[in-house]
Amino acid sequence: MIFVDTGAWFASVVPSDSNHQKAVVLLTKVSFLYINKKEGANL
């Protein structure tokens, strides 16, 4: 069994969540790093 904490994802799509803005920023940064790593960018 694998447990996945979906709290950050939930907060990112629910504007009324108290952590909404932080979650959006975090997921944006993680996505950017993942995409650039996948494309072979040297960050």
**43 residues of the chain, pLDDT tens digit each:** 999 999 999 999 999 999 999 999 999 999 998 888 766 656 5
C-alpha span between 18 and 30 (Å, rounded): 20
The two three-digit tokens of residue 1, written as one number: 């069994």
Q: Which tokens hold the place of 5?
A: 């904490």
Q: Determine the pLDDT at residue 25.
A: 97
Q: Which domain holds residue 12?
A: 8-40
Residue 1 lies in a domain: no
* pTM exceeding 0.75: no
Number of Cβ within a 10 Å radius of residue 30: 11
- Total tally of structural domains belonging to the chain: 1
Q: Which helix (H) or strand (E) holds 32?
A: helix 20-38
Q: How far, in Å, CA of 33 to CA of 7, rounded?
A: 20
Instruction: Please identify which residue in the block is written with the tokens 């650039």.
Output: 36
Residue 36 lies in a domain: yes
